[in-house]
Amino acid sequence: MSKIRVSQPHLRRTIIRYLSKRSGDDGFSNPSSINENVVLADALNLLSPAKHNEHTQQQRYTADFKPSLYNNLTKGPASEQFKVEDFTHSSSKAYNNGSRDSLKVNELTNKYVNTLLFGIKSSNIINRFNLDLSSMSPKELSNYIKSITEEDKLMELIDLLYSQNKLNIKNLTEIVLNPGFKDFSKCSIDLLNINKNYIKFDSPIHYTQFNIILLKKFYDLKAPLQIIKNLKSNFDKYYFPLIKEKKLAPFYERIVWKFQFQYNRKVQKSNLNELYYMNELNNLQSSFLIWESSSSSSLTSYDINRVIINYMLTEQASKLTALQLLFLKICIQNLNHFEDANTVNTKLLSNLKRISIRYHIYSLHSVNNAHNEENSRLVHYSILNKLEEFILNELIDPVAATSAGGAISEAQSLDNIKLLKEIKSYRESYISSLLNNSNSHDPQTNEQVDKVLAPQPRYSPF
């Protein structure tokens, strides 16, 4: 039996005639039927090149794109989450409008790819880490992050937290500040240019806080150029306005001041120093934070410390509580006790700064507003005990004083004893005010405040 040969054009016409009959005799085609016909025709390579490209383009972008099982179950297909149709229209339009629109398309593309990769990797990472993030408390997760020493595990943990929508400012900060984290290029997220397109933090200020954390990380990595670049991009635009509006927490503000003066001093105008910003802000808390973040390692820094404290004792004296005044008086006593800055001398100044940071000396004015509360009483007693211990062990003790800067004179000993008496007087007045249930927020009477403010014969800052 001989084979019947059918020419290809004849076969093409026959199939098309068959498809057109299936579409309906009334001239109105069923959309689903048309779609099936187009798919069949495309499979048989019967469509024109233009029609073929149009169909494959439509099919490519309208499919249900599911980057991760978790996101798909909780938020629906990615085509719904990211509005793929809008993306296809914007992508075709972007390349005609220029680089700015193209950049937006690239960001969307990166987002799709990252989400897909995180979804694929998350199950493998969970098995490798053998942990259940949903059952871990924030403290347990924090301890786990601190226990990791391998950089690859830190990078994988970022991917895992991101894929499960658990990557926040707290755990990201702990991961980045982990000593094992060293190479930002290994991270699948661009942490050096982080924004809401990559990670959704609970508050917009968290993005600024993370950029401040990067200053600390660059310092640990010994990357001064990155610190200067960070400050140049963010200080005037973000950091300083937030400080001025009192919206930046002391922890972050202290980091900003430390690197602003330590690394940016040489490249900025000479008048933009500590006193400039203290005058500009006129904020006692910021003045304390500037002093706490200032260096204590050289003779120049010692002079800066003296200038800052004298400024607070003179220009901001009306805002200081009696205990703050007493604390600053001990600081200036320490600065004036030695004529040259040396290793032990800087250690004493550093100890005073640690006391200030630990007990929040900058906020004692607000603590005094509730001085009957137990927490406030503990803070006051702790500060007074620490200051007494500092004077007795560091300034009066002959061995410590001699090793710090030579034998102390009789006048210096008398000054130190006066400071101890003032601390004792403050403690007695404070306890008395508590027992009498005084309405005054500060236990010092006007006469006692004048006594604390009274200039010392030799080392008065006034």
Which of 66-80, 170-184, 260-274 shows the lowest mean pLDDT across its residues? 66-80
Do the beta carbons of residue 405 and residue 340 sit within 8 Å? yes
Contact in structure between 325 and 383 (CB atoms under 8 Å): no
Q: Can you give the pLDDT at residue 94?
A: 47
Mean pLDDT across 93-118? 55
State the pLDDT confidence band at 40, using cuts at 50, 70 and 90: low
pLDDT band at 47 (very low <50, low <70, confident <90, very high): low
pLDDT tens, position by position, 212-265: 999 999 999 999 999 999 999 999 999 999 999 999 999 999 999 999 998 876
Tokens of 393: 């062990």
Q: Could you tell me the pLDDT band of residue 60, with boundaries at 50, 70 and 90?
A: very low
* pTM of the predicted structure, to 2 decimals: 0.67
Mean pLDDT computed over 428-454: 58
Give the three-class secondary structure for 12.
helix
Most distant pair of Cα atoms in the chain: their distance: 131
Count CB neighbours of 147 within 10 A. 9
CA-to-CA distance for 141 and 171, rounded, in angstroms? 8
Give the mean model confidence (pLDDT) for residues 188-212.
89
- CA distances for 275 relative to 238, 240, 272, angstroms: 21, 15, 8
Report whether 432 contacts 380 (CB < 8 A): no
pLDDT at position 267? 55
DSSP-derived secondary structure letter, 460: -
User: Are 113 and 87 within 8 A, CB to CB?
Assistant: no
Model confidence over 115-144: pLDDT tens digits?
A: 555 555 555 555 555 667 777 888 999 999
User: pLDDT: is 9 or 96 the higher one?
Assistant: 9
Least Cα distance to 327 among 264, 240, 386 occurs for 386
- pLDDT band (50, 70, 90) for residue 375: confident
44-53, 104-113, 136-145, 162-171: the lowest-pLDDT one? 44-53
Name the range with the highest mean pLDDT among 84-88, 113-117, 205-209. 205-209
Task: Please report, for residues 15, 306, 338, 392, the alpha-carbon distance to residue 400 in angstroms, rounded to integers and kept in the order given.
Answer: 103, 22, 13, 10
In the 8-state DSSP scheme, what is residue 7?
-
Return the CA Rg of the chain: 35
pLDDT tens for 388-439 read: 999 888 877 655 555 555 556 677 778 888 999 999 999 988 888 877 755 5
DSSP states of 283-345: -HHHHHHHHHHS--SSHHHHHHHHHHHHHHHHTTGGG--HHHHHHHHHHHHHHHH-SS--HHH
